[in-house]
Structure 1
Amino acid sequence: MAIAPIPDSPLPHVTLVLAMSLDGKIADVQRGAARFSSAADLAHLEAQVAAADGVLFGAGTLRAYGTTLSVRQPDLLAERRQRGQADQPWQIVWSPSGHLDPSWRYFRQPVPRGLLTTAAGATDWNPEQFQRIWTIPEAKTQPWDWPWILAQFRAAGMGRLALLGGGGLVAELLRCHCIHEIFITVCPLLLGGATAPTPVEGAGFLTAVAPRLQLLSSQTVGGEVFLHYGVLPPPCQGR
């Protein structure tokens, strides 16, 4: 897979990758693992993970699956090596509380694991469980200063970051204009439910200031529609 050059920026290029039902749900009302997409979508997701230097997801996403998606396809591994990347990108979980279950399979996967948390959340974790812990000062968490945080990832060598949810984390990064492109797969089912999670949660955006997107490509594979959007910069950044 051809990878565009990394923009000259102090922040990583962030790509959101999600699958959702036709009615815009990323899981059902029980908020468990969403396994309704196809093998084609899983391959698409793995390709996006393989393109990244780091993968970021929220604690709720990890809690639902207990695991993360590593790069397994030989051709994708070969491409990473040709680009000078390690076999596996960093797999970073955002958990302000740090309340995660060390028995999850995630902690036995052969991937470099990172934790993004508070000083309190970093307590009791060791280097075998998390090879790196980004402990964010309290002043940077009220609200979370995502440009500053992402700059720490960029300084650690992560030029490309894949964002895999959940909706609360996505809303946080959209609030700070830190997402550059979106791959979203629309799957042929209806989940419904007022409490079922959506791609963007949180307080929401008023129409006047909602992030605007530009459709870059669309493709239909079986019953699924693969959409690729660019996130337009806000008007204050020149549009």
Structure 2
Amino acid sequence: MSRPHVLLSAAVSLDGCLDDTGPERLLLSGAEDFDRVDAVRAASDAILVGAGTLRADRPRLLVNSAERRAKRVEDGRPAYPLKVAVSASGDLDPGDPFWTTGGARLLYTTDDGAALARARVGGAADVVALGATVDWAALLDDLGARGVRRLLVEGGARVHTQLLQLGLADELRLAVAPLVVGEPDAPRLFGPGAYPGGPRSRMRVLDAERVGDVIVTRYAPTVPGTTEAATAADRHWLRLACDLAADCPPSETAFSVGAVIVAADGTELARGHSREGGDPVVHAEEAALAKLPADDARLATATVYSSLEPCAHRASRPRPCARLIVDAGVRRVVTAWREPDTFVPGADGIGVLGAAGVVVAEVPELAEAAVRPNRHLVPTLPSSTHKE
């Protein structure tokens, strides 16, 4: 089961503060931005906060718009996303609005904190012990197993910092308010420590927009073990593509491949896998692209994630997948495994894409996952999956 897409969401001042040191909460956003966040909540499967945020802000984490709640129900989802809290100690106030307002609730804690957590909020939430400490990877695995595909993380600073430092954040949406707090002890969004890629690593800017009087920028964090152009979001979607490859009917004459097409805003547009729908020769990228209109404007800024390098030559169709991607107007592809010479010697789909101006990112850390459903064709993973 794939982990959810992890979206970190926060609002800060121009000098990076989440709040000032006064007794009242500093409101950094206005009505327009609050509505934007409400829409992001409505698009999420779960919303997560840490215990510090629960104690300081007492958030309800609800979808406020009745229309958005109705649309969720119409789509077969609960009116409210799952509300998730994280507390190592389990020492929480059962009267907090988080536990008494709408939506299902889930609490992650440690083995030592589990007894107190169940005594405090066990009647209002499922309580899950993660071990001696809060194991964020295990937490995300558990949410994925529960069907959570999009996780919105609304704080606090310690939670955001840990997820980013561990390389588990797929996206950061940061609303910057036009004010300066100027207090040296005011809380900042991220704490000190080692971050993926080191101190000189730069996130990739996905887009920016003005919402009322704040500027909201979307970033894709970098993660260790990936190429410079690959990000945490790339790893998430590429892992899903590798999972889809396992759904392929087995074949002795073709690879099992999965593909996912993702829009610039991080939403999935289509997915496919080899030999899907009983077609013995359809390829994964081809199957995914066929599910979208040829003139879909979102393709121009979308990314195609394919567990195997898109093919440059094929006998079963007039156009190989690399050419289908180029002709669809897609400008970015992420893949885990370069095509070996098993069936087509000298295949170079990445070269075809690059020659057409398509940016290609490779994530060799996921090559093993891409090879796994093809083990009968490729008994061992080559020491290098890259062609010279």
With structure 2 as the length reference, what TM-score do the two structures score?
Answer: 0.54
Count of residues in correspondence between the two structures: 225
User: Deviation at 1:38?
Assistant: 0.3
Are 1:76 and 2:65 matched, yes or no?
A: no
Could you say if the C-alpha distance between residues 12 and 185 of structure 1 is closer, same or farther in structure 2, counting changes exceeding 3 Å? same
For residue 33 of structure 1, what is the amino acid of its counterpart? R
Answering whether residue 79 of structure 2 is matched by residue 56 of structure 1, we say no
C-alpha spacing 1:162/1:194, structure 2 compared with 1 (3 Å): same
86 and 96 in structure 1: CA distance in 2 versus 1, 3 angstrom threshold: same
Instruction: Show CA shifts across 1:197-238 (max 9, x none).
Output: 11112535497356631111111233211111122333x123
Q: Can you give the 5+ residue segments of structure 2 that lack an aligned partner in the other structure?
A: 229-388
For the structure 1 residues 76 and 173, does the alpha-carbon distance in structure 2 shift closer, same or farther, using more than 3 Å as the test? Answer: same
Contact 2:166 2:196 in 1 (8 A): no
Match of residue 238 from structure 1: 227
**Quick check: 11-20 or 190-199, which moved more?**
190-199
Pair 1:198-2:188 in alignment: yes
Q: Provide the rounded CA distance (Å) in 2 between the counterparts of 1:170 and 1:218.
A: 20
* Pairs within 5 Å for 1:213-228: 213-228=203-218
Identity of aligned residues (%): 30
Maintained 8 Å contact 1:212/1:232: yes
Give the conservation status (yes or no) of the 8 Å contact 2:205–2:219: yes
- Which one has the largest radius of gyration? 2
Question: In the alignment, which residue of structure 2 is the partner of 1:135?
Answer: 129
Normalised TM-score (structure 1): 0.85
Does the 8 Å contact 1:27/1:34 carry over to 2? yes
For residues 102 and 211 of structure 1, the distance between their equivalents in structure 2, rounded to whole angstroms, comes to 42
- Pairs within 5 Å for 1:1-239: 10-30=2-22, 33-123=25-115, 124-130=119-125, 132-138=126-132, 141=133, 144-203=134-193, 205=195, 208=198, 212-234=202-224, 236-239=225-228
Deviation of 1:73 (Å): 0.8
Tell me: CA distance 1:154–1:52, structure 2 relative to 1, closer, same or farther (3 Å): same
Deviation at 1:69, TM superposition (A): 2.2
State the one-letter code of the partner of 2:131: P
CA distance in 2, matches of 1:197, 1:220: 24
8 Å CA contact 2:167–2:196 kept in 1: the answer is: no
Local SS of the residue matching 2:114: coil
Q: CA RMSD of the aligned region, Å?
A: 2.1
